[in-house]
Chains A and B, each alone.
Chain A
Amino acid sequence: MQGSVDTFHYDNRIVRHFAVASMVFGVVGMTVGLLVALQMFLPQLNLGTPYTTFGRIRPLHTNAVIFAFVGNAIFMGIYYSLPRLLKAPMWSRKLSQVHFWGWQSIIVAAAITLPLGLTTSKEYAELEWPIDIAIAVVWVIFGVNMFMTILKRRERHLYVAIWFYIATVVTVAVLHVVNSFEIPVNLFKSYSLYAGVQDALVQWWYGHNAVAFFLTTPYLGLMYYFLPKAAGRPVYSYRLSIIHFWALIFIYIWAGPHHLLYSALPDWAQSLGTVFSIMLIAPSWGGMLNGLLTLRGAWDKVREDPTLKFMVVAVTAYGMATLEGPLLSLKSVNAISHFTDWTIAHVHVGALGWNGFLTFGILYWLIPRMYGVKLYSTRLANAHFWIGTLGILFYVVPMYWAGLTEGLMWKQFTPEGFLQYPNFLETVLQVVPMYITRAIGGALFLVGVLIGAWNLIATARSGNFLAEEEAQAAPLEKKAKSSGGYYHRWIERRPVQFLALATIAVLIGGIVEMVPMFVIKSNVPSIANVKPYTPLEVEGRDIYIREGCVSCHSQLVRPFRSETERYGEYSKAGEYVYDHPFLWGSKRTGPDLHRVGGKYPDAWHYNHMLEPTSMSPGSLMPPFPWLIENELNVRHTPARIRALSKLGVPYPKGYDELAAEELRIQAGQIATSLSDQGIEVDADREIIALIAYLQRLGTDIQTASN
């Protein structure tokens, strides 16, 4: 041991790169968020262009906030803490740079393609296949750099934060790859490998665990590093942190089906999701308490230090969101909360409180240290804290209220047994005041962020950036003698074994859920009358996907009397077997559309798309006039049919050749029907395809009963 001490340098530049990117994209993502919040009650703010219409920019908001704001903040925190915990600089500065610029290019690609309507429509996995591949490549580069750093470390034991980082890298890779299996139609369009119920299961296994392993585990790693740093004392219980880690990664992965309660997913899978969600309370609260108790005896610091203030609210929000999540997984609660704004409230407790505030807490700690100065203004940081906290409250409280209102109004019957609010629009207009208050809350939060950004810039300006931070540590002895030999120590010292164990823990849940779902036929009972979509309907469905209709309209009638009264027969698993991807949705700002086929005449849909308020006075839906102006692009119709055939949709052999002709005939029929109803429109317009799709929706089983 004695004698040889290595001197090396930590690279602060890459940390600053990611910090700046996180703040810039944070402001952008939240501004887009504010715009979509305003569009919820001022439809004219859709600005009359396809590129700024809600359905297309809502995913822009979610992607920007999750992958750009939070993503860059994760990398900022990891590139700072990992080398210091390992007493070794990052293995390759070149790979760090490639990671940074690669990730930013992906964000830019997302910002361009999503407004263009290039989307898979699967939530938080909207980006099309070439970008998916880029994400996988950049992620692997990050993983390699991280893992090589771990192998070259000078501290034998891996601190718990690093386990969370490792679990993040491995699991996000698995989730991303499995959920992104798709067959390309062309460079910008692909169909999910899975269909209907199976696609839903895979998507929500992904969606749920994206929250778990992108928004939670890396942030827990950051919490376990930066909270003790800021408080100047070790974590309350290191034992508890070990339990927190293993229990969390083992249980989280099973809980995905709680997003699909009362859906056409088999009951056993739904129950599995509920049970594991309830179990999640234990590790989540263990982690929250571990974080808060780290501050025992240091609460006087919390009063003065803005970093700690932000962190305390962040950890509290983590606790609140992780208690609420399991409660929402109870079927009786979910019956009311699902498809309502309650979900929006829930995710924003996590996003604004947990991710947002922990990020700001870390930034207020990190930037002054990297510049060797005090924070420019503690008062401004406190102002940011209070405005941000108020913003969160103004955001979530009205959304909880709105969610409950919607859930209860949808289910309200009169004493005679009829729906009290049969017109869906009534339940939407009821919550408009809450939407307005929510936008105010969002605006407040954004103002706080801008104040924070200014404070951090002023801090940086008043100091000198320490790009290279010198450190010294003794290299690891080649062969350390085992002192004790307890198993966990064994794992803590062997990252490769640790990686393998964590991967196994994560894979078990996914395999247990998915394999039976894919191999047991009875899980998706087939319905003889359910037939593949016609070429025109396929085109219409892809327009539905492009315009992001799924953002506001579900296609899943749940088996409640309140829903079968309102929409019609509840949805069966067998009806979705040709749906690549599934389009069940997760939010009803408008009514469910699974039984909309045949409900209205073609002319109604035409007028409704041109100007929604003409058919539903007071409607908050944006108009889609370009569907009437745009000629339907049929160049890719044969490719679409071929791709679907490859996925097992039983089109006859050589059908792709006939598709164009069949499409033309069906379009002509719809144009004629519209003409009969007094509307003259060319048969080659996009609106015709969309009407064909909407009129087909959910009608196959009606033919069965006839």
Chain B
Amino acid sequence: MMSQVMRTVSEGLGLWPVISLVLFFIVFVGMLIVVVRMKRSHIDHMGSLPLDNAEPGDTTHA
């Protein structure tokens, strides 16, 4: 069975570069669309997450 799977894979390898290119394109375009459409308020919220906790032992910073 394994050899059959391998044969199917190797016969379809001509499509390999095309599939990779399409995937690549989709990932990057998708990412850019998502990022551009993000709301300002949401971005501000996300950016401030690390600063939420005041350090109880924080005496070194004013």
A interface list, Cβ under 8 A from B:
81, 84-85, 87, 155, 157, 159-161, 224-225, 228-229, 232-235, 238-239, 242-243, 246-247, 250, 368-375, 463, 466, 469-471, 484, 486-489, 492, 505, 508, 512, 515-516, 519-520
Contacts and interface: CB of A to CB of B under 8 A. Distances in A.
B41 to A, nearest CB: 9
Contacts of B45: 157
Contact of B57 (A84, A161, A224, A368): A368
A238 B51 CA distance: 14
Contacts of B20: 508, 512
Nearest to B10: A519
A369 B34 contact: no
Interface of B: 6, 9-10, 13, 16, 20, 23-24, 27-28, 30-32, 34-35, 37-39, 42-53, 55-61
Contacts, number: 108
Contact of A372 (B27, B52, B53, B59): B59
A58 to B, nearest CB: 37
A368 B46 contact: no
B48 A520 contact: no
A87 B49 CA distance: 10
A515 B13 CA distance: 9
Given A246-B27, A488-B35, A515 B9 contact: yes
A243 B35 contact: yes
Query: What is the interface of chain B mostly: helix, strand, loop, or mixed?
Result: helix
A369 B47 contact: no
B56 A242 contact: no
B40 to A, nearest CB: 10
Nearest to B13: A516
A81 B53 CA distance: 10
B46 A160 contact: yes
Given A486-B38, A519-B6, A232 B61 contact: yes
Given A242-B35, A372-B56, A159 B61 contact: no
A10 to B, nearest CB: 9
A363 to B, nearest CB: 13
Contacts of A520: 10, 13
A250 B20 CA distance: 12
A300 to B, nearest CB: 13
Contact of A157 (B24, B30, B49): B49
Determine which residue in B6, B13, B20, B37 has the highest number of CB atoms from chain A within 10 A of its CB, and name it.
Answer: B20
Contacts of B34: 242, 486-488
B54 to A, nearest CB: 10
Given A371-B57, A372-B57, A234 B35 contact: no
Contacts of B56: 372, 466, 469-470
B53 A369 contact: no
A85 B28 contact: no
Given A157-B45, A470-B56, A519-B9, 11 more contacts: A85-B49, A159-B46, A159-B50, A232-B51, A239-B38, A250-B28, A372-B57, A375-B60, A466-B57, A471-B53, A486-B42
Contact of A369 (B10, B43, B52, B55): B55
A242 B37 CA distance: 13
A161 B50 contact: yes
B37 to A, nearest CB: 6
Given A369-B57, A375-B60, A512-B20, A238 B6 contact: no
Contacts of B32: 243
Contacts of A463: 57
Nearest to B28: A247
Given A234-B51, A242-B31, A243-B35, A516 B58 contact: no
B46 to A, nearest CB: 5
Given A243-B35, A246-B31, A484 B42 contact: yes
Contacts of A85: 49-50
Can you list the 10 inter-chain pairs with the closest CB atoms, starting with the nearest?
A372-B57, A234-B47, A519-B10, A159-B49, A238-B47, A488-B34, A369-B57, A238-B43, A369-B55, A246-B31
Nearest to A487: B34
B49 A155 contact: yes
A87 B39 CA distance: 23
Contacts of B35: 239, 242-243, 488
Contacts of B52: 84, 87, 155
A235 B50 CA distance: 9
Best-buried of B6, B9, B43, B49 by chain A (most CB within 10 Å): B49
Contacts of B23: 508
A243 B35 CA distance: 8
A489 B43 CA distance: 10
A87 B24 CA distance: 35
Contacts of A512: 16, 20
A267 to B, nearest CB: 14
A374 B39 contact: no
Contact of B58 (A369, A375, A515): A369
A487 B38 CA distance: 9
A239 B50 contact: no
Contacts of B57: 368-373, 463, 466
Contacts of B39: 484, 486
A228 B51 contact: yes
